[in-house]
A and B are shown apart, each in its own frame.
Chain A
Amino acid sequence: MRSWSGWVIALALAWGLAEPASAQLDYGDFSSATLTGKAWSEMGSQNYEAALGYIAKCLELYEAQAKTMQAGLSDYPPNTPPEATSKFWALNDVGTCLFIRGEIELKRGDKSAAKATFQKLVNELKYAQCWDTNGWFWKPADAAKKKILELEFEQP
Chain B
Amino acid sequence: MAALSFTSVAAENQPVRTERPAEVTLGPNPAGDWRFFVNGREFPVHGAGGAGAPGLLEKLKEAGGNCVRTWGIDALEVRMSNGDRFMDRAHQLGLMVVPGLWVQHERHGFDYSDPAFITRQRTQLLAQVRAYRDHPAVLAWGLGNEMEGPASPTGSVVVLQEVEELAKLIKQEDPHHPVMTVIAFTGGGKVANLVQYCPSIDILGLNTYGAAGGAGSAIKAAGWTKPFAITEFGVNGFWEVGKTDWGAPYEPTSQEKGRSFYAAHRMVFELNDGKELCVGTFAFLWGWKQEKTDTWFGMFLPTLEKLAPVDAMTKVWTGHWPTNRCPVLNALNSPAAAKRIPPGQEFPATVEVEDPEVGVRLAGQIREYGPERGR
Contact = CB atoms under 8 A, between A and B. Distances in A.
A14 to B, nearest CB: 26
B312 A145 contact: no
14 contacts: A139-B214, A145-B213, A145-B267, A146-B264, A146-B267, A147-B263, A149-B266, A150-B259, A150-B263, A153-B255, A153-B259, A153-B312, A153-B315, A155-B354
B354 A150 contact: no
Which residue of A145, A150, A151, A152 has the most chain B CB atoms within 10 A of its CB atom?
A: A150
Contacts of A152: 262
Nearest to B326: A155
Interface string B311-337: 010010000010001001000000000
Size category of the binding interface on chain B: 20 to 34
B242 to A, nearest CB: 10
Contacts of B264: 146
B356 interface: yes
Contacts of B321: 156
Interface in B261-298: 262-264, 266-267, 271-272
A142 interface: yes
B270 to A, nearest CB: 10
Interface in A125-156: 139, 142, 145-147, 149-156
Nearest to B266: A149
SS class, residues of chain B in contact with chain A = helix
Contacts of B214: 139, 142
A146 B213 contact: yes
Nearest to B355: A155
Given A139-B214, A145-B272, A153-B255, 7 more contacts: A149-B263, A150-B260, A150-B263, A152-B262, A153-B312, A154-B259, A155-B325
A150 B260 CA distance: 7
Which residue of A139, A149, A152, A154 has the most chain B CB atoms within 10 A of its CB atom?
A: A149
B258 interface: yes
B59 to A, nearest CB: 20
Contacts of B267: 145-146, 149
B46 to A, nearest CB: 17
B145 to A, nearest CB: 26
A150 B271 contact: no
B258 A155 contact: no
Contacts of B312: 153
Contacts of B325: 155
A142 B259 CA distance: 15
Interface in B240-264: 255, 258-260, 262-264
Contact of A155 (B213, B262, B266, B356): B356
Given A145-B267, A155-B356, A156-B321, A150 B262 contact: yes
A156 B315 CA distance: 13
Interface in A98-147: 139, 142, 145-147
B328 A149 contact: no
Nearest to B327: A155
Contacts of A155: 325, 328, 354, 356
Nearest to A143: B213
Interface in B340-359: 354, 356
B354 A153 contact: no
B196 to A, nearest CB: 22
Contacts of A154: 259, 328
Given A145-B267, A145-B271, A146-B267, A153 B213 contact: no
A149 B259 CA distance: 8
Interface string B38-78: 00000000000000000000000000000000000000000
Contacts of A149: 259, 262-263, 266-267
Contacts of B260: 150
Contacts of B262: 149-150, 152-153
B209 to A, nearest CB: 13
Nearest to A151: B259
A16 to B, nearest CB: 22
Nearest to A156: B321
A58 B173 CA distance: 63
Interface in B105-142: none
A45 B201 CA distance: 49
A147 B325 CA distance: 21
A43 to B, nearest CB: 13
B375 to A, nearest CB: 25
Which residue of B213, B260, B263, B264 has the most chain A CB atoms within 10 A of its CB atom?
A: B263
B170 to A, nearest CB: 36
